[in-house]
A and B are shown apart, each in its own frame.
Chain A
Amino acid sequence: MPELDEDQLLHVSLGPQHPSTHGVFRMNVLLDGETVVSLKPVFGYLHRNHEKIAEGITYLSSMPFTDRLDYICPLTNNWAYAQAVEKLAGIEVPERAEYIRVITAELTRLINHSAFVGFFLGDMGAWGSALMYAFREREKILDLFEDLTGARMMSNYMRFGGCRNDLPDGWAAKASVLVNEFPRFLDELENLVTGNEILIARTQNIGALPKEALINGGITGPMLRAAGVAYDIRKVEPYGIYDRFKFRIPLGTTGDCYDRLMIRLLELRESLAILRQALDQLPEGAYIHPKAKIRNFKPPVGEAYARIESPKGELGFYLISDGSAKPFRYRIRPPSFINLTLLEDMCLGLDLADVVLILGSIDIVLGEVDR
């Protein structure tokens, strides 16, 4: 490779206000012609020090703030936090609540992955159409969430030891209808996407890294599975009641942007399979443990790290209790933030236009990156 002439390099600041950056995210890119020579992400524009705030308030008061981390998937955030506190305090969760949690989490995954496809096509220049199809379906799921939690997005629904309220009358039937109709949308979406010549030309052989590098870089979730690593926390370390359901883990081969897109499309089908089983088996019973404490809740001294497979990867909460009503240490392990670690490695030597696609394929939400 010939020596780079520093005077010929072009410094481009992509963002923080840029349609391709999924929020206020900035990349300092150094270009040699069209080729990326260096890329340094800059973020923190949405930083509100959620962890510090949470250490000054009671455990339950942080629950609504977790909605605002990854605001596409508030219910999985709720679950991750509730699970960590349950581990910290040794709280049991009744069976019905576990089912409700699985159902809401998988519906959330449907939202996230279909919206991902829309956003990703938007990054490629197909702005609007695919996203509108995805949002049409998302709206139906959000209606279900509104019936259940009272809010379309900021649900604040999980509690330590269960959920805030039971399913409303007829909710499970409505959810079943949605689950049965969803494959039609998926067929439509896959028809639009998978065989598309431009999409294949733009996404194949872009952004791939070896498996070992991805694991070493802490990449989790669909990104890792696209490279062929069968690592899904729902299977590896079944939390809740995931060991009761039959579902498969779709795996990619190369880990390029095309695989990452396809993994999400395939995971949608598996989520539907889980939803069908969960809605069939949904038992009667309590939706929250009768002894769960809402007021004056003080977990015993100790610490706990708990994680779930959120739609974006491993979402973990690390809590230290000093026996008081407020957490001594409250830490979020944000998948979006850590999945960005290898962004530069993926982009080096590629064109600037590919950077936008690779960033899109990581699937970040800045509310979670910046916290």
Chain B
Amino acid sequence: MTPDLPAIFTRLRAELPAATLAHLRNPGPSGQDSLLVAPACLVAVCQFLHDSADLDFDLLSNVTGVDWPDPALTDAVALPAEGSAAAVGGFLEVVYHLYSTSRRVGPLVLRARSVDRAEQVHIPSVVAVYRSAEYQEREIFDLFGVKFTGHPDLRRILMWDEFLDHPMRKDYLAPDDYQYEPTPHDAVLEKAKQHYTATSES
């Protein structure tokens, strides 16, 4: 059963007057609308949804990141908030899918957006409310580069610790020397030459 999003929205408005919220419409046929929550009040909103006896969203099933590098694309696809100004630049987004196991309701989709993609990529961690976010937030940190403030153990989880970039970002450049050959030839040789001109000939 899909949750009654407008009701939850007004309820949150009443209970947490300080929270900045927006209702995002999903243009597709799935009908899964979402709630845009300002990062500053994300933990409070989650805590309320978790603790409230009649809403009882006790299962945070899925947490994932989305990279929105292009403002034009954001306006077209990223469910712009009603009445809000168009996005100025790119940003990183974290999407949460909540379910209630007792009321059999879900998914309630929450989204939180960072300010930009370079420096201000901080989103508060919800691990204190939902433990299931622990590894998933580590994965988002690893692959998208979102920094979760308050996470107990924010390390890379799938890539190795020495890895530098965040591969799930849309502008990530894959290394071109992955086709290692002991004696490079043909296309691989060309690639290897391009890749190693700077280092090997100096």
A interface residue numbers (CB < 8 A to B): 43-44, 47, 49, 51-52, 87-90, 212-213, 215-220, 229, 231, 236-237, 299-307, 314, 316, 318, 320-323, 328-329, 331, 333, 337-338, 340-342, 370-371
Contact = CB atoms under 8 A, between A and B. Distances in A.
Contacts of A306: 30
A218 B130 contact: yes
A370 B159 CA distance: 10
Contact of A302 (B30, B133, B134): B30
Interface residues of B, number: 41
Contact of B132 (A43, A302, A338): A338
Interface of B: 1, 26-30, 32, 58-62, 64, 66, 73, 76-77, 79, 95, 97, 101, 104, 106-107, 109, 130-136, 143, 156-160, 167-168, 172
Contact of B77 (A301, A331, A340): A301
A218 B66 contact: no
A239 to B, nearest CB: 13
A371 B104 contact: no
B159 A47 contact: yes
B150 to A, nearest CB: 17
A252 to B, nearest CB: 16
Given A49-B168, A231-B101, A328-B77, A337 B28 contact: no
Given A88-B30, A90-B29, A331-B62, A301 B131 contact: no
Contacts of A329: 64, 66
B97 A338 contact: no
Given A215-B59, A303-B79, A329-B66, 13 more contacts: A47-B158, A49-B158, A51-B143, A216-B130, A218-B60, A218-B131, A218-B132, A300-B28, A304-B32, A305-B30, A316-B62, A320-B77, A341-B135
Contacts, number: 123
A19 to B, nearest CB: 24
A237 B89 CA distance: 38
A37 B20 CA distance: 42
Contacts of B29: 87-90, 300, 302
Contacts of B107: 305
B126 to A, nearest CB: 11
A88 B136 CA distance: 23
Contacts of B156: 44
A212 B66 CA distance: 29
13 contacts: A44-B158, A47-B159, A51-B168, A88-B30, A212-B58, A213-B131, A216-B130, A236-B104, A237-B1, A301-B77, A305-B32, A321-B28, A329-B66
A303 B28 contact: yes
